[in-house]
Structure 1
């Protein structure tokens, strides 16, 4: 299973508010984009990164949204000194997930010259499209957005 943890992680007595996805193929100096997310979409992102060899992209899981873990998030970003783009990716529709809540906090942790974008499903009155094939199309689209050119609303620092 992708979301498995070794027993030792349960016995340390700590909760990690931010988890970096460490991949031996990724050199932190070559990372140009950080995709931040929360929840199951992280595993979809990791599979896509591996399949398409996006070795210039790091994935950071934000496990605690409130209070936002500024220190842990900033420490994770500092591991990648050449990042120019940060993307928040979520599986939920834009108006139902964490995007509107976390964008300000992510922006506070950015440095001069970095850009922040959104990758996810469009805003919707319902939490799901209701059809499996449409769900898969939207998932493919949000993964394409996460690794593609920034589009739409982009915040700059």
Structure 2
């Protein structure tokens, strides 16, 4: 509550509130629902508060794994059935949304999204899902060249490896967000599928980057489309992204789900169960025949 009031009274300050674990934001649920999500719609008051919510399936158990991104996405006000294209698409989307939900996979993008938050000519709440394991991950690094003048926040980070150089050979495009990207890249290399499988990261989930994803989908017209997440099926992002992908392709191509099975708890507290379920969905993600014959 203090941070919310401070952000409202000081719009030029970058005010951040960090939950010890993302799960613990439920103690602030009343403030999130009553003030942060709907404050502008109810009282025409802008607020630029930043919520930093540790989130990631790291085998730490049900109270230390999930910031419940599905709840924030459900309360987002963008329309899943409308492709709102305009010349100033990115800025108009940000202006019209009730809050911004991101899951950054690189230090540079994390820097840029905080910088953008204070440089915007208006204020919107920013929800940042922050995997703790990426603090020490050897692959989660950025050059300072990605943070100099002329660089900006990337809403989508497209495939830039072998698959991007020969898109006609790509059999599957995997879309994901957050730290699961690093698990997917490692598994793709182990299975020697770097030419057949492209991996694209959504760094900004809401407002949904329709324009950039349309470009990605047009690159790979003959490929399977897969959404991969480490969260359980009834959690995470799938229910939010699926209708929006279908809108982009005008319902002509399915978007398949790869991830953990539905569950009541946000995560398992058993390390072995965690690793088995990780192995299972990685196998499905790179099984190029997994969805043959399905509609």
TM range (shorter): 0.7 to 0.9
User: Match of 1:9?
Assistant: 146
TM-score (norm 1): 0.88
Tell me the CA shift for residue 13 of structure 1.
Answer: 4.1
Equivalent position to 1:24, from 155, 162, 180: 162
User: Residues 67-106 of structure 1 correspond to what in structure 2 (within 5 A)?
Assistant: 67-83=207-223, 85-106=224-245
Greater CA deviation, 104-113 or 118-127?
Answer: 104-113
Tell me the CA shift for residue 112 of structure 1.
Answer: 7.0
1:113 and 1:56 mapped to 2: Cα distance?
Answer: 22
Q: Which structure is higher in helix share? A: 2
Higher Rg: 2
Task: Identify unmatched segments of 5+ residues in structure 2.
Answer: 1-137
User: Residues 1-157 of structure 1 correspond to what in structure 2 (within 5 A)?
Assistant: 1-11=138-148, 12-24=150-162, 27-54=166-193, 55-83=195-223, 85-110=224-249, 114-148=253-287, 149-150=290-291
Number of aligned positions between the proteins: 152
Q: Deviations over 1:13-61 (max 9, x none)?
A: 4111111132136621101210000000011111111110122110010
Deviating 4+ runs (over 3 angstroms): none
The 3 A distance-change label for structure 1 pair 150 and 28 is same
RMSD: 1.9
Q: Which has the higher contact order (CA 8 A, sep 6+)?
A: 1
Alpha carbons 2:232, 2:263 under 8 Å: kept: yes
Greater CA deviation, 18-27 or 138-147?
Answer: 18-27
